[in-house]
Structure 1
Amino acid sequence: MTQVAIQPAVHRRHQPWYKVLYIQVLIAIALGVLIGYFYPDLGKELKPLGDGFIALIKMMIAPVIFCTVVHGISSMGDLKRVGRVGLKSLIYFEMVSTLALAMGLLVGEILQPGNGFNIDPATIDPKSVATYVTKAKEDGIVAHLLGIIPDSYVGAIARGDLLQVLLISILSGFSIALLGKAGEPIAEAVDKAAKMFFGIIRMIVRVAPIGAFGAMAFTVGAYGLGSLLNLVALIGTFYLTSILFVLIVLGSIARLAGFSILRFIAYIKDELLIVLGTSSSETVLPQMIQKMEHLGASRSVVGLVIPTGYSFNLDGTNIYMTLATLFLAQATNTHLTIWQELGILGIAMITSKGASGVTGAGFITLAATLSIVPDIPIQSIAILVGIDKFMSECRALTNLIGNGVACVVISISEGELDRDALHEAMAHPLEMGEALEPGGSA
């Protein structure tokens, strides 16, 4: 059984509290809420700050995934292991995703957050959700599967589609590995390119507080905290369900694997704060790759599990889909039998696959689910338009934690980590923007 040794933690020079990045992000989020609440027009004008930061990070995701996966597979040697890790990941994703969907249904049935709304679907303007409905109908299952294949090798990286990039990365990694000695210079060049890309990310993450400030100011300024009051039952139920899922389901999985879910959450606190500010888990994908490698997970496992999880292991999105579907049925007085609810669960298992970590993807997948379920009027999702931005933050946070736990579990199953090394690494996490180099060592 192979184990990856964790290098001793580097003793860092003590920084003043105001220079610690996660504290800066917390302050930025608080200031953004205040600006958006007291000066909503100004808050709306600050939207480009958040958009700019997200765009900067997203431009680096495709090359980072490409280099990480290609070098990881090409340097692994045992190509059968790549297939084994991929199969394990997909089985794990399906099991945990199904639990997330089921928990959304269960809590929705118990708490009944939509009861008492008595909304007449005929009074809802369908134009307010026309874009989402059209998008949902266009993204059929067959179209989604064909969409994994890029129109060109370079086009996949240029567009930054995660599954397309993952496909060409896996093919490239296998191709280089099969070249033997002739492929070693290519793998080395890819590794050096990865160091350059992570160097760029080190610079970008330093402006994370500015991005979080702009995104939060816009959210509160555009939608207002008052919009939360009308649908506080749904929002509260969703956050409660997500917390229970993380603590009970993911917590149990973590305990069986030999680590604490609370310690893991503390380990990725920097990334969670960035996601809270930007409502997108994609903004920390490169950093999550490094954090997992710092724990001792191999680059090949991290490179396969994390990017694939961003499309196939969206626990928060799954909870949202079944819970929101039940909420809309209850709010419109649409009675659903147990068989119809199980049917919704089955449909959601399909429509949830391939939703990326981008803000709003959960809303589109919800529309896709309702377009297949004729019992619930699809125009009823207009009720959720005003609060979806607030709920997307919880979706992204839950997705991120779920993907991190999946990576650790798969890595442990491959014999790469022992518990002592894992606990030591979690006790000394990399700080955001610090020592982000391929290999994960600080």
Structure 2
Amino acid sequence: MFNYLRKISLGNWIIIAMVLGTLTGLFLNFYVDDPFIENFILMDNVFYLGGDLFIRLMKMLIVPLVFCSIVMSIASISDIRKLGTIGLRSILFFILINILSIVLALIIGTIIKPGVGLNIPASDTLSNSTSSMALTDTILNIFPENPVHALTNGEMLPIILFGVLIGYILVKLRGETSTVYNLFDELNHLMMKLINIVMKIAPIGIFCMMARTFGTIGFESILPLTKFIGCIVLVIAIQIFVVYPIIFVIFTRSNPLKFYRKFASAMFFAFSSASSSAPIPLSIEKLDEMGVFHEISLFTIPLGNSLNKSGSAVFFSIGFLFVAQAYGIDFGTTAILTVIITILMATISSPAVPMASVFTLSMILSIIGLPIALIDLITGIYNVIGMFNALSNITSNGICTSVVAYQYNSFDMDTFNEKKKPDN
């Protein structure tokens, strides 16, 4: 029995914890009338401690993880000339895909209104701080007066810029700063290891959060959660079946159905593992098989894994709308531009590790001026959302890599179209 339990993957344990926590919370909510047992012992102590401990551990790691990740994603570019040619074009394409994803998600989310129904009252302070946001303030806040202060206070936008600058300088001075490069590389591996250790208690934390969440809300508040998930799935479906094929046709003049057929195994792997990092070797292999030159895919796929997270962009955008609508906050045009820039910067910097997107979302909400009280609710259902996020991320990276390769004559279209080359 115990040997069988050990074989269950972490992802499956999280799903089990999510289901059991939901059922436990609903049972306590509707069938337990003793406030001492339900509220004092379980909700306010056991479940609160278990859920909040997991949240605190992840928050403890997210700032150094983001900083080290962004430094290494830039510093790992071996040739500075690539950063100026293929790398620059790839980065611009990744940013374009992220912006399209954010805008599409904001439009769909505004129409569907996933947060409407929770009806959480917003305070005057919250409304005023939100309405007074200015685009110029956001731009100025990107540049830290004191980077150490930004790191200690978890100010994500300055952290991102500071990390990009350090990574760029490490590329320029690779021969002179090998010790610093190795230090950041080892710190990045260290943070990844710590995340893996913390994730071992994720099922316990998620069980406690789900039990506490559904133990205190009614059925009328469950509908917005299904709308929240459905909204994300709809946007990602539009990405995969409409946006990405159009981009592929415009830039490569080729049949996108052939791309999906050849790249399907990498897409299924990303979906089943809920990971954008794990399918990287398989993605490179499948792109090689369809005719993309190896030196291109070997460079752009890992770079895209760091910078191009279209699925995460959708999650952040819908998550922002979900919270804003739940509190009844209406954003003006200037504030929306600020939101788009904030989400874009957070998307680029979000580390590709399990559950990190949830805590990046909490930082986005803090920067924008929204409360993070609903993060517990979102965390409990993120494992389902994460599968679709990973699917979108890996698919867009494959599309972008193919487009960049085609523009640099590094895409063998005869191989892609399965045409046999004539014998010499």
TM-score (norm 2): 0.63
Mapping of residues 15-164 of structure 1, within 5 Å: 19-40=8-29, 41=39, 42-45=42-45, 46-76=47-77, 77=79, 78=81, 79-80=83-84, 81-105=86-110, 128-137=122-131, 139-164=133-158
The offset of 1:31, in angstroms, is 1.9
Contact 1:100–1:245 (CA<8 Å) still a contact in 2? yes
| Amino acid of the structure 2 residue aligned with 1:264 | M
Look up the SS of the partner of 1:136 in the other structure: helix
- 2:253 aligns with none
Give 1:363 deviation, angstroms: 7.3
Q: CA deviation at 1:204?
A: 1.5
The alignment covers a number of residue pairs equal to 347
Which residue matches 1:337? none
Give the drift of 1:402. 4.6
For 1:209-238, what per-residue CA distance to the aligned partner results, in whole angstroms no more than 9, with x for missing partners?
11111211121123233433xxx4x65555
Give the counterpart of 1:205 among 199, 202, 205.
Answer: 199
Mapped partners of 1:364, 1:129: distance in 2 = 15
Distance 1:141 1:167, change over 3 A: same
The CA distance in 2 between the partners of 1:391 and 1:200, in whole Å, is: 19
Structure 1 unaligned regions, length at least 5: 1-13, 118-123, 272-286, 330-340, 369-380, 420-442
Separation of aligned partners in 2, 1:262 and 1:106: 33
Report the Cα offset of residue 144 of structure 1: 1.9
**Using the alignment, how far apart are the partners of 2:298 and 2:60 within structure 1?**
24
Show CA shifts across 1:311-363 (max 9, x none).
x963245457779999999xxxxxxxxxxx9x978863543431455466787
* CA shift for structure 1 position 82: 4.2
Runs (5+) with no aligned partner, structure 2 = 30-38, 249-255, 285-296, 347-356, 413-424
- TM-score scaled by structure 1? 0.61
Aligned to 1:332: none
Q: Which moved more, 1:259-268 or 1:34-43?
A: 259-268
- Alpha-carbon contact 1:313-1:403 (below 8 Å) kept: yes
**Aligned AA (2:58):** I
Residue 22 of structure 1 and its aligned partner are, at CA, apart by 1.8
Cα separation, 1, equivalents of 2:107 and 2:303: 29
Instruction: Pick closer, same or farther for the CA change 1:262–1:104 going to 2, 3 Å.
Output: farther
Structure 1 residue 113: deviation in Å?
A: 11
The amino acid across from 1:354 in the alignment is T
Distance, in Å, in 1 between the alignment partners of 2:368 and 2:151 is: 28
Q: Per the alignment, do residues 85 and 213 of structure 1 end up closer, same or farther by CA in structure 2, a change over 3 Å counting?
A: same
Query: d(CA) in 1 for partners of 2:207 and 2:141?
Result: 34
| Contact kept? 2:134, 2:334, Cα under 8 Å | no
Deviation at 1:309, TM superposition (A): 5.0
Any conservation in 1 of the 2:405–2:411 contact (CA below 8 Å)?
Answer: yes
Aligned amino acid, residue 250 of structure 1: I
Question: Contact 2:308/2:393 (CA < 8 Å) preserved in 1?
Answer: no
Give the distance between the partners of 1:55 and 1:125, measured in 2 at CA.
Answer: 24
User: Partners in 2 of 1:387 and 1:193 — Cα distance?
Assistant: 28
- Whether the aligned pair in 1 keeps the contact of 2:48 and 2:208 (CA below 8 Å) is yes
SS of the equivalent of 1:223 reads: coil
Alpha carbons of 1:16 and 1:202: their partners in 2 closer, same or farther (altered >3 Å)? same
Instruction: Give the SS at the match of 1:69.
Output: helix
236, 240, 247: which one pairs with 1:246?
Answer: 236
For 1:217 and 1:306, how far apart are their aligned partners in 2? 34
Work out whether residues 94 and 313 of structure 1, in 8 Å CA contact, stay in contact via their aligned partners in 2. no
Q: Calculate percent identity across the aligned residue pairs.
A: 18
Match of residue 315 from structure 1: 314
Alpha carbons of structure 1 residues 51 and 306: separation in structure 2 relative to 1, 3 Å: farther
